[in-house]
Amino acid sequence: MKIKTISKTLVILMIAALTALSVCACGGSDGGKTPAVADIAQAIIDKYPLSSAMSQVTGEDKIKNVYGFDAADYSEIAAYVNNSGTEQDEIVIVKASSSDKVDAIKEKLQNRMTAKMNSTKNYLPEQYEMISKCEVASKGDYVRMFISPNAEDMVNIFNAQFE
């Protein structure tokens, strides 16, 4: 009788373990696709070409200066800023080097957006309004900030890259 009970218990434990493993194997990603940041940015730029005042932020030193990211914080980045002084458009897509870096990247991008809002509030009210409608958000290890009159559509293009 004891052997039968032990056998049943063992079978139940094995089923529970297999169930737990199968659940773990199915979770953990946002659909499985991990597009290159440059490809996401290109899909956006294809629909919304950059103005002549926009330039790409490249180089570890410049990225650190503009956004505060250390090279160890990210594995890929595509960042474009408007250098006109009056237009505040900015496209930033970052793939964090690990999931524990996502919140720090989001915070730094949020700080940049807040600084843009503060600098435009009294002098460029139309730009302030545009910025205030935008957001910093993440999807898995990817973090994005789109400051543009087309930000909502850019978010849709971004999300479509993961489908």
CA-based nearest residue to 38, from 98, 84, 91: 91
Q: Among all chains, which residue has been given the structure tokens 């440059």?
A: 38
Mapping DSSP to helix (H, G, I), strand (E, B) and coil, where does residue 145 land? Answer: strand
Please tell me the distance from the alpha carbon of residue 133 to that of residue 146, in angstroms, as a whole number: 10
Residues 6+ apart with CB under 8 A from 88: 82, 116, 120, 124, 127, 130, 131, 147
The number of beta carbons lying within 10 Å of the beta carbon of residue 25 is: 8
pLDDT given for residue 21 in this prediction: 35
What's the pTM?
Answer: 0.80
Type of residue numbered 119: S
Task: Tell me the average confidence (pLDDT) per consecutive run of 10 residues in the chain, 163 residues long.
Answer: 52 43 39 89 98 96 97 97 95 98 98 97 96 97 98 98 95
Whether the Cβ atoms of residue 35 and residue 158 lie closer than 8 Å to each other = no
pLDDT given for residue 32 in this prediction: 72
So where are the chain's domains?
33-160
CA-based nearest residue to 100, from 61, 66, 74, 76: 74
pLDDT given for residue 47 in this prediction: 98
pLDDT given for residue 48 in this prediction: 97
pLDDT given for residue 85 in this prediction: 87
In a 10 Å sphere around its CB, with 0-12 CB exposed, 13-18 middle and 19+ buried, how is residue 54 labelled?
middle
CA-based nearest residue to 113, from 74, 73, 143: 143
120 backbone dihedrals φ, ψ, rounded to 5°: -105, -15
Please tell me the distance from the alpha carbon of residue 149 to that of residue 130, in angstroms, as a whole number: 6
